[in-house]
Structure 1
Amino acid sequence: MLSSAHWLQYGSLAMSIIAGVAIITLRMKASNKPTNLRKIIIPPLGMSTGFLMFVVPQTHVPLLWALYALAAGVLLFAPPLIATSHFERIGEQIYLRRSRMFIYIIIGLFIVRIAMHDVVERHVSVMQTGALFFLLAFGMLVPWRLAMMLRYRQLLKNDVPSTSAST
């Protein structure tokens, strides 16, 4: 019979897989619809509410661990997403277009995350593991979305016709 700790671990893995599949599906469908600045900014703002988990003492981790998790998101996980996310204008609409490598990068990042999850969970509690992976994900999402926002605004700026009259 499995202990409650095993059920938590397997449940966490199952939820991670479900979330990963859902994210891949949503991202692939989103590339078929036009985007705007609001759609780029809302995910990190919504995700930031997750910091409320840290009011629960069981989620507390050493500050250095938290910084490592954030740094891993920023330095290891965000760059491939940034490199494979591009915008294009079709008529009056702007679409997010990812390279064909995007899906493979997402799957690769997901596999690395699952492998890291097992290693981390051997050394800290399930709730601390969740906190560390939240920080890693937030560290990945914010730079990716900032890069998308800058590219989106640059595309808008470059495509706006000049209104100055020549004399």
Structure 2
Amino acid sequence: MLKLQEFVDFIFNEIPSIYLIVGSTFLFLFMGTMAFIVRTKAAKRPISPKRIILPPLFMSTGALMFLFEEFRVPFPQVIEAICVGLLFSVVLIITTNFEEKDDKLYVKKSKAFIIILFSLLIIRFVAKLILSSSINVGELGGMFWILAFGMIVPWRIGMLVKYYKLKNSIEKTS
């Protein structure tokens, strides 16, 4: 653990914050593009409760960043990040729907998803540029993780509810 803390200290003390901001922005753009590609491919496979629940569970490992002081976020900013995440999740819940094909459920392709994804990328980029002048990079990373987690968990719960409603209505009509 000490070696990892030394590495984190080196990153935050020796590398100018602008490089961290630019690097993390490119990484986020790459991850956003990958999310779009994965989502497009996933729409070709049937959805299941397991495939709905696993992404937030995998993402939850990111909470380990809060073991390090550099990433800890003051409570008012935690509340702000969660509220913004909840707001974004509402849009995702509304635009994520399912359809039945061959007795299996699939995520319905949505043109709104690409617009939402790139809008979120742009909003995040602009917010990062603005906030990076008043909030340190580690804390900002923690805030954006909280925002993303606060968005994905309600979205996936909403997906699960829609999945079971559609599944139950299909079973009733069969």
**TM-score of the superposition, structure 2-length normalised?**
0.86
Q: Give the CA deviation at 1:72.
A: 0.5
- Provide Cα deviations, 1:53-112, integer angstroms capped at 9, x if missing partner: 11111111210101100110002x112211111011111211011322221111111111
Match of 2:109 among 98, 123, 132: 98
Contact 1:84–1:98 (CA under 8 A) maintained in structure 2:
no
Instruction: Find the counterpart in structure 2 of residue 65 from structure 1.
Output: 77
Matched residue, 1:9: 21
Count of residue pairs brought into register by the alignment? 160
1:41 equivalent in alignment to 2:73: no
One-letter code aligned to 1:136: L
RMSD: 1.5
Percent of aligned pairs sharing the same letter: 34
Cα distance in 2 for residues equivalent to 1:106 and 1:8:
23
Residue 75 of structure 2 aligns to which amino acid in structure 1?
L
Structure-2 residue corresponding to 1:158 = 169
Residue 127 of structure 2 aligns to which amino acid in structure 1?
M
Per the TM alignment, residue 13 of structure 1 is displaced from its structure 2 partner at its CA by 1.3
Q: State the 1:137 CA deviation.
A: 0.3
For residue 27 of structure 1, what is the aligned residue in structure 2?
39
Stretches (4+) displaced over 4 A: none
* Of 26, 50, 55, the match for 2:67: 55
**Normalized against structure 1, the TM-score is what?**
0.90
1:135 to 146, 154, 157: 146
Higher helix share: 2
Whole-Å separation in 1 of the counterparts to 2:24 and 2:60: 21
- TM superposition shift of 1:5: 2.1
Q: Which amino acid aligns with 2:67?
A: V
CA distance in 1, matches of 2:19, 2:99: 45
2:120 match: 109
Separation in structure 1 between the aligned mates of residue 77 and residue 117 of structure 2, nearest angstrom = 24
Q: Extract unaligned runs of 5+ from structure 2.
A: 1-14
